[in-house]
Amino acid sequence: MVEGFDLGRYIGVFLEEVEEHIGNLEENLVQLERDPENQGLVQSIFRSFHTVKGSSSSMGFQRMMELAHLMENLLDGVRNKNIVVTPSLIDVLLRGVDLLKNIKDAVALEGKEPEIDIQDIVENLKVFLKRREESQSPLETPLVSERKDDSVPGEEAAISPSQKEYLVRVYLALECSMKGVRSYLVINRLQENKVEIVSTTPPLSDLESERFGQSFEIVIRTFLSEEEIRKMVESVAEVERVEIEMREETLEVREEEKEEKQMISTAEQKKTAKSLKKTVRVDVDRLDALLNLVGELVIDRARLGDTIQRLREFKELSHLRDLLADTNTHIGRIINELQMEIMKARMLPLAEVFNRFPRMVRDIARNSGKEVDFIVQGEETELDRSLLEEITDPLIHLLRNAVDHGIESREERISRGKSPRGKVLLKAYQEENSVVIMVQDDGRGLDTGKIRSKALRLGLVSQEELDKMSDREVMEFIFYPGFSTNDQVTSVSGRGVGMDIVRRNMERVNGQVSIESEEGKGTTFYLRLPLTLAIIRALLVKVDGGIYSIPLADVVEIEKVKKENTYWVNKTLTALFRGRVLSLLRLKDLLQSKKAEYFEGETVPEVLYTVVVNAARTMAGLVVDEIIGEQEIVIKSLGSYIGDVRGLSGATILGDGRVSLIVDVPSLLWKNFQMGG
């Protein structure tokens, strides 16, 4: 009947909580460095260490507990103004947090604490604690005892028998079942003995629904002594340990003040209870399956629409047709909503990714001896979770480059008349159906002169072509594979490192990257991402009898170009589009990997139906046979047996049941470009 100790039941919650605390710690420590006087931050950091200490000791993870304990003590010193916040203190604390994270990761993998050596960092932490001890007068409490002390409350009580406020921390036995009722029993026991409950952490509602780990805290107010309280709480079964701390403010509070306080605390409790939304964990696969089903619905609706169109021929059925059309519109609206809801369920706030960056930027800046203010905005913007994974690496690249190469050294900045601290801004916002993420630095900017000469040297362009290119277009060269990885272009800031990968990652998810840069002023990268991957709006065109879908994201405009408005430039056919010279390319030939330009001497039709596209740093006019219209399409992969077809990104099923291939514009243009177009 005796069950073995089942670690598995708690380890999930434990790891989740610790991870959350580690995330908060990183963020708050970095912030503390900038704002050392912020007591709220100090408190919150202290609490995180404290909680990690408590739960890791409950789980029996000694190293983790020791680390957290030491750091908690350090923070206690900061709180009492015995330890000063310095960058080196933050360094050590961050390293400690790293170690916590390593241990946590290992626990997650192996289910037990790894044999990591923590002595090094422990010594480091102790150095800071020592300093604190030395700075203290000998009369003050030694740092080892965490609680203020045990004797004072009794003495004080003897002097004035006033109510005192205590923080009671109750640790439940590990295999304790019905923790909720257990905590209720503890609180009930206290109340029975006329102990006033001020507040609980977590709030009562969470205690009741067992949303807490192995321990919880109660703030109480009472005439009773610490010992009496301890006995009372320990008389409840499955209470393993009780820690009692006297609160700073010994309370001889007047009634109204007390009431006020209580009101605040209950109001706060209510607020937290309200903000805790009810959630259900769902497997991502299930959401994918749902989205797929909605995709099928979209296709069926298109078929229905098609059938309704065909009913036009039967005049006598016109009112039935109208009814059907109404219903179809309604179904369409519902499908849209359904699709939006499922998409939302798949969305996660960018904070998931952004949160780790302050720490990273700080480390890079410190390593390169630069001073950088890192500002994050719009982290609440949401994005499909699969996209979130795709943008992480690109963002790391961009931020690293911004600090490493974009921001100048302090001296250089001063000599240029800039503020000595550099600024890096990471900002996200939604714009129509896409999310834009901006990485901006106020550093030296891109040196287009150097990019030009490099592009020429690498043979990417001819001098003639280069002369026609604007600075904006020239900047696009940094996205070429291996463009500026060598040190000769250091003043271009080596931004080529991984830039092609950034672009490739973006294009893989139908996203785009663009740059704006001004020499001496700074550089801004824009990552533009679709909200979802599965359903897109596309332009349907007819080419050689087949229907193709061109993602609307790539389409700039549709033009009917008359033959007399075309020109021969460099022996190929071009047209003017808003003042820009545009090459006209036959989509049919592009798809077959043939030369797609019209060469001088070829017959050109009287009217060219042209889809102006902008992708892969090229603008071009795709000539098609017929333009059918715009439609929402569901992307279906071509399947593994066909594999990765260059120029096509998938297929979709149209209303009439026909299959339409989806054109991958960037790769088509890129291919044509490589063929020497």
Partner 1 sequence: MPGRIMIVDDAAFMRMMLKDILVKNGYEVVAEASNGKEAVLKYEETKPDLVTMDITMPEMDGISAVKEIRKKDPQARIIMCSAMGQQAMVVDAIQAGARDFVVKPFKPDRVVEAIKKVLGN
* Site residues (vs partner 1, CB under 8 A): 1-3, 173, 175, 177-178, 180-181, 184-185, 188, 234-238
* The pair of three-digit structure tokens given for residue 629, joined into one six-digit string: 């219209």
CB of residue 146 vs partner 1: minimum separation in angstroms?
A: 26
The owner of tokens 């209950």 is: 266
Output the CA–CA distances (angstroms, integers) from residue 274 to 8, 210, 448, in the order listed.
Answer: 30, 17, 54
CB of residue 179 vs partner 1: minimum separation in angstroms?
A: 10
Distance CA 38, CA 333 (A): 50
Q: Out of 401, 505, 510, 672, which one is annotated catalytic?
A: 401
- The answer to whether the bond into 202 is cis (omega within 30° of 0) is yes
CB of residue 2 vs partner 1: minimum separation in angstroms?
A: 5
As a whole number of Å, the CA-based R_g of the chain is 33
Minimum CB distance to partner 1 smaller for 122 or for 173: 173
The owner of tokens 């408190």 is: 43
Minimum CB distance to partner 1 smaller for 207 or for 298: 207
What does the longest C-alpha to C-alpha distance in the chain come to?
110
Distance CA 632, CA 321 (A): 23
Residue 603: alpha-carbon gap to chain centroid: 53
Minimum CB distance to partner 1 smaller for 179 or for 452: 179
Who contacts 104 (Cβ-Cβ below 8 Å, separation ≥6)? 15, 18, 19, 22, 64
For the question of residue 72 being annotated catalytic, the response is: yes
Length of the chain: 677
Minimum CB distance to partner 1 smaller for 185 or for 331: 185
Question: Are the CB atoms for 56 and 15 separated by under 8 Å?
Answer: no
Question: Are the CB atoms for 242 and 170 separated by under 8 Å?
Answer: yes
The owner of tokens 């294009």 is: 507
Backbone dihedral region for residue 522 (phi beyond 0: left; psi -120 to 50: alpha; all else: beta): left
Q: Out of 21, 26, 28, 50, which one is annotated catalytic?
A: 50
Distance CA 174, CA 569 (A): 80
Output the CA–CA distances (angstroms, integers) from residue 251 to 152, 255, 650, in the order listed.
Answer: 15, 11, 71
The residue among 594, 595, 590, 584 whose CA lies nearest residue 623 is 584
Question: Are the CB atoms for 571 and 600 separated by under 8 Å?
Answer: yes
Minimum CB distance to partner 1 smaller for 183 or for 339: 183
Rounded to the nearest 5 percent, the helix, strand and coil shares of the chain are 50, 25, 30
* The pair of three-digit structure tokens given for residue 663, joined into one six-digit string: 């054109």
Who contacts 457 (Cβ-Cβ below 8 Å, separation ≥6)? none
Minimum CB distance to partner 1 smaller for 184 or for 526: 184
Question: In sequence order, which ranges of 160-223 are alpha helices (DSSP H)?
Answer: 179-192, 204-208
DSSP-derived 3-state class of residue 668? helix
For the question of residue 557 being annotated catalytic, the response is: no
Distance CA 635, CA 530 (A): 13
Q: Out of 27, 33, 72, 113, which one is annotated catalytic?
A: 72
Minimum CB distance to partner 1 smaller for 182 or for 452: 182
Who contacts 518 (Cβ-Cβ below 8 Å, separation ≥6)? 445
Distance CA 61, CA 71 (A): 16
Minimum CB distance to partner 1 smaller for 209 or for 570: 209
Distance CA 328, CA 556 (A): 30
CB of residue 169 vs partner 1: minimum separation in angstroms?
A: 19
Question: Are the CB atoms for 428 and 435 separated by under 8 Å?
Answer: yes
Who contacts 233 (Cβ-Cβ below 8 Å, separation ≥6)? 168, 170, 186, 189, 190, 239, 242
For the question of residue 401 being annotated catalytic, the response is: yes
| Active-site annotation, residues | 50, 72, 401
